Structure 1
């Protein structure tokens, strides 16, 4: 699907370890794309850029049938998982393809809604990606983007290892040419991409019940030790294995705190093509 023109060679900070994919598969249209739902209708054509394992994409397809929904990801392995999910759910108006957000193999003005969830934060040129997303949106259609803001995250109790985790994540992402505090920059990026009609909003993910804390702590402790995050932390010389083990233990200590709280703010923007 990649075009012949030169495009940025982005490094994905998270990678596709099982712990990462498991976290992404827990996302739904309701808990991760509620700001898009009022813009969906039966018959809408939707492109979901950076669709991951397809959980949000399949939700979109259910809401827009008989409209056609396309999920796009650069990983063939992840696309295969998304196809399996669609088959498992019996969703027939969705297809999944590999592709490049900077050079979409899609004709101009093809979709009513072009959506990207937690994608722009990982790109070295998010503005170029937004321009390309705009190209494939119909006149009057929308481009919907949502990204977390890492420096906006807050937690309790104060766990020093989580401070280390944040510092390490920031260093790795920026070493990759990415912007981990993307949420607060979405309006700016949309404006730079040429949008004059933008509607910003925000929403949170909160982990504060025992079940939520256990889930979040397990996911991130595994990611710290075993995902591409771990490989990059050591490979870039930012941490030793002992550091990662200490940070992972800190995540577990936070997860076992009866009064634990972890808040992830997300910026959201709807741009009108």
Structure 2
């Protein structure tokens, strides 16, 4: 555990999960933030943006492309993922970006450093999300924006309803809870922001969905999840906390492979989104 890491904060993503996450961009994972970013860029092309929990950097890099005269900093508690993030930026030819290690509970920046501070699917995994939001607010300039988008696992819908996929849903919710996270994070964002000291008038709330239904989307999701079930951290956590045995995990993996091959297969989940005007 990193020195400034709080119990319940995940230590990052193993390669299989990082690969699964690399389909994420600002366009498909932060569309609620983009209109505000564009309007802020018109008055200040030199925006400074902090992406908290950047992982392998694909969202951070796409933000950097959107503000070519600005600068993006990506931060992640897991230092081992940062070389991948830097490689993603280099392959994209993006230079107005940097990545560094750090905890969302103790961001290594002075007060009021960034115009925009955002996170994607970070608060859902940690034990004290209101403290994380409070820290994100601290490093954001007055007049700036704090943004967060988080999933809500109780809203997940999948077809066909294979029994093993139902077990997988229970496994994922149990995994989050065992680490101190909150599977229903998306619906709780406003309450967490209020607990962080924000006035309700400062908060804009919206909801959107993510979905997987094309052949390529199904194949990518299935492969990433099967890798995790057969040899990644998801398997380790499931066995450690008694959330499933070897046979259970293999049956879930086979069900995802079957799901990916079905022409009628689909999966969707609701996400909560907040913009906090500081």
* TM-score relative to the length of structure 2: 0.92
User: 1-side partners of 2:22 and 2:266: how far apart?
Assistant: 22
Which deviations, in whole Å up to 9, do the C-alpha atoms of 1:148-178 show, x marking residues without a partner?
1111100111110011001111122111111
Equivalent position SS for 1:96: strand
Question: Which structure 1 residue ranges, 5 or more long, are not aligned?
Answer: none
1:162 alignment counterpart = 165
1:120 alignment counterpart = 123
2:223 alignment counterpart = 218
Q: What is the root-mean-square deviation in Å for CA atoms of aligned residues?
A: 1.5
Equivalent position SS for 1:147: strand
Find runs of 4+ consecutive structure 1 residues off by over 3 angstroms.
none
- Deviation, 1:65, is 2.2
1:38 alignment counterpart = 35
C-alpha contact 2:13 2:55 (8 A) present in aligned 1: no
Which deviations, in whole Å up to 9, do the C-alpha atoms of 1:196-236 show, x marking residues without a partner?
21111112111112222222222212222222111011011
C-alpha contact 2:52 2:74 (8 A) present in aligned 1: yes
- Deviation, 1:20, is 0.5
Match of 1:149 among 149, 152, 176: 152
Work out whether 1:258 is the aligned partner of 2:263. Answer: yes
- Deviation, 1:12, is 2.5
- Deviation, 1:16, is 2.5
- Deviation, 1:10, is 2.5
Equivalent position SS for 1:201: strand
Equivalent position SS for 1:229: helix
User: 1-side partners of 2:190 and 2:162: how far apart?
Assistant: 32
User: 2-side partners of 1:183 and 1:225: how far apart?
Assistant: 28
Match of 2:22 among 22, 25, 28: 25
Give runs of aligned pairs for residues 1-273 of structure 1, distance below 5 A. Answer: 8-12=6-10, 16-40=13-37, 41=41, 42-196=45-199, 197-273=202-278
User: 1-side partners of 2:261 and 2:175: how far apart?
Assistant: 27
User: 2-side partners of 1:120 and 1:135: how far apart?
Assistant: 16
Greater shift after overlay, 163-172 or 213-222? 213-222
- Deviation, 1:98, is 0.3
User: 1-side partners of 2:167 and 2:124: how far apart?
Assistant: 20
User: 2-side partners of 1:3 and 1:221: how far apart?
Assistant: 32
Which deviations, in whole Å up to 9, do the C-alpha atoms of 1:18-43 show, x marking residues without a partner?
22011111111111111111122221
